A = this chain, B = another copy of it.
Amino acid sequence: MKYLLLIFFMNLLPQCAGKSLSRDGSYPKTFEGIRNEIAGYNDIAKAIIDLAVYGKAQNRSYERLAVFADTIGPRLSGSKNLDAAIKYMYSALQKDGLENVHLEPVKVPHWERGEEFAMMLEPRNHSIGILGLGSSVATPPEGITAEVIVVASFDELHRRAQEAKGKIVVYNQPFISYGETVRYRSLGAVEAAKVGAVASLIRSVASFSIHSPHTGWQDYQSGIPQIPTACISVEDAEMMSRMSFRGTKIVVYLKMGARTYPDSTSFNTVAEIVGSKYPEQIVLVSGHLDSWDVGQGAMDDGGGAFISWEALSLIKDLGLRPKRTLRLVLWTGEEQGGIGAEQYYQLHKENISNFDIVMESDEGTFKPSGLAFTGNAKARDIVKEIMALLLPINVTEVYDAADGTDINFWMRDGVPGASLRDDLSKYFWFHHSQGDTMTVQDPNQMNLCAAVWTVVSYIIADMEEMLPR
């Protein structure tokens, strides 16, 4: 997940609330009626849970993901791997017997890190592990050798602006939360360039580290010189901070061969179970297929993509066909800021009144605890009733504010949204690092996530009425 857009849109949500379609007045059923309707899905919910968690489909999303992730590897926008991933999924979704399997073309950024290398030259030789940040420029071919200034915050950088000229800024900001801390990754280069620095090295935005740098997208600003920028490990950032605090002079050699190519064509990958009664109405479940270029993208967002696919597979396996169309979208270009999702929104927004709910899982598929939901009070009450059917696996919580770079476009305009909530305690240990591999995934946890995702999407797609907004 990218997260930056998320923060942006969450700030917008209060202002935009007024823009949403309000159907509350015209909603036909009493809440008692709705409650009875939802209670009627009890057996189906149980059948979904049984199939996903204990039955024949047990571990399927995990196993499918393992084959996919092992075969394709990481899938950065613009890469051949992402092309291969889309081709693979197109074929797999067809083989799975889903309907309307198709690709919707999107222009996505194409950045490659190339060779990169950092070495501390003073006070001692020490190889610094780095991961260049997406969109970073390269160093000159001979690299950059410069003294380091270590700061713990943008405030400190601004206070010590005079010292930063011609230096490499090392940020050793503490990890508070991803949302709070990620601005150092996104804006570190810009802020360092403003005070005349020649490069920036940023402590990885990670809540725990075994010497593992984490990459991610960063943004230049027009009019500000573009300097090379990379993340370093928590350990190296702390070490340089200690050295600097002791007054030790630090000199670092940095070489990055990153290149930005013209935008390349990619695709959102779509498949459906077409609705039996209101086929034009859409319940959208999704995850993003692109990833960073390290690890296997098994967590971010292989898990979300594959439990979304699993939701359609489980419904098909049970011979169910909801009244509304259940649409799976595997987004492209999420890591560059929801590029695929924005285009999808632009293309399909004229149909917005037919979008019942948009769902995205992009914050891990660890042990689930419930659902985060964005929508009005009546819709929330309905979702709470649905979640009560997940009592057999004890995943009944409904939290505020759904997350997801790719669904925010719709939620901003009033479409109800949901995202999976799970145990995030280790998410930022692996996020955007070489550690994002199948080893972090647990088949039982993915089964539970798939059950939640399926029960919610199926019932919303099959109820008499769309969710009120």
A295: B residues at CB distance < 8 A: 211, 235
> Is there a chain B Cβ closer than 8 Å to A433's Cβ?
yes
A66 B210 Cβ-Cβ under 8 A: no
B437 A211 Cβ-Cβ under 8 A: yes
> Is there a chain B Cβ closer than 8 Å to A383's Cβ?
no
Q: Shortest Cβ distance from A231 into chain B, in angstroms?
A: 14
Of B73, B129, B248, the residue contacting A434 (CB under 8 A) is: B129
Of all chain B residues, the one with the shortest Cβ separation from A240 is: B70
> Is there a chain B Cβ closer than 8 Å to A239's Cβ?
yes
CA distance A444 to B439 in the complex (A): 33
B246 A211 Cβ-Cβ under 8 A: no
Q: Shortest Cβ distance from A440 into chain B, in angstroms?
A: 9
Of B73, B210, B238, the residue contacting A209 (CB under 8 A) is: B210
Known A209-B210, A210-B429, A295-B211; contact A439-B71, beta-carbon cutoff 8 A: no
B210 A438 Cβ-Cβ under 8 A: no
> Is there a chain B Cβ closer than 8 Å to A19's Cβ?
no
B210 A242 Cβ-Cβ under 8 A: no
B71 A433 Cβ-Cβ under 8 A: no
Q: Shortest Cβ distance from A449 into chain B, in angstroms?
A: 20
> Is there a chain B Cβ closer than 8 Å to A67's Cβ?
yes
CA distance A243 to B242 in the complex (A): 44
CA distance A223 to B422 in the complex (A): 55
> What 1/0 mask marks residues of chain A from 93 to 133 whose CB sits below 8 Å from any chain B CB?
00000000000000000000000000000011010010000
Of all chain B residues, the one with the shortest Cβ separation from A63 is: B242
A211 B435 Cβ-Cβ under 8 A: yes
> Is there a chain B Cβ closer than 8 Å to A234's Cβ?
yes
Known A235-B435, A235-B439, A438-B239; contact A246-B210, beta-carbon cutoff 8 A: no
> Considering only CB atoms and an 8 Å cut-off, how many residues of chain A contact the other chain?
32
> Is there a chain B Cβ closer than 8 Å to A218's Cβ?
no
Q: Shortest Cβ distance from A62 into chain B, in angstroms?
A: 11
Q: Shortest Cβ distance from A235 into chain B, in angstroms?
A: 4
> Is there a chain B Cβ closer than 8 Å to A427's Cβ?
no
> Is there a chain B Cβ closer than 8 Å to A430's Cβ?
yes
A439 B209 Cβ-Cβ under 8 A: yes
Of B67, B72, B238, B243, the residue contacting A439 (CB under 8 A) is: B238
A438 B70 Cβ-Cβ under 8 A: no
Q: Shortest Cβ distance from A170 into chain B, in angstroms?
A: 14
Q: Shortest Cβ distance from A152 into chain B, in angstroms?
A: 15
Find the residue from A124, A210, A430 having the highest chain B CB count within 10 A.
A210
A73 B126 Cβ-Cβ under 8 A: yes
Of B123, B210, B248, B296, the residue contacting A210 (CB under 8 A) is: B210
> Is there a chain B Cβ closer than 8 Å to A212's Cβ?
yes
> What 1/0 mask marks residues of chain A from 47 to 77 whose CB sits below 8 Å from any chain B CB?
0000000000000000000110011110000
Of B71, B123, B124, the residue contacting A123 (CB under 8 A) is: B71
CA distance A197 to B430 in the complex (A): 34
B73 A235 Cβ-Cβ under 8 A: no
CA distance A67 to B247 in the complex (A): 12
A123: B residues at CB distance < 8 A: 71
Known A235-B439, A246-B67; contact A73-B212, beta-carbon cutoff 8 A: no
Of all chain B residues, the one with the shortest Cβ separation from A129 is: B434
A242: B residues at CB distance < 8 A: 66, 70, 438
CA distance A459 to B211 in the complex (A): 40
Q: Shortest Cβ distance from A85 into chain B, in angstroms?
A: 12
Residues of chain A from 242 to 258 with CB closer than 8 A to chain B in the complex: 242-243, 246, 248
A437: B residues at CB distance < 8 A: 211, 235, 238-239
CA distance A434 to B235 in the complex (A): 9
Of B209, B211, B212, B239, the residue contacting A70 (CB under 8 A) is: B239
A71: B residues at CB distance < 8 A: 123-124
Of all chain B residues, the one with the shortest Cβ separation from A236 is: B437
Known A73-B124, A124-B73, A238-B438; contact A210-B433, beta-carbon cutoff 8 A: yes
5 pairs, CB–CB < 8 Å, chain A vs chain B? A210-B429, A234-B439, A235-B437, A238-B437, A239-B438
A sample of 7 more A-B contacts (CB under 8 A), given A211-B433, A242-B438, is A67-B246, A70-B242, A71-B124, A72-B124, A210-B212, A210-B430, A211-B435
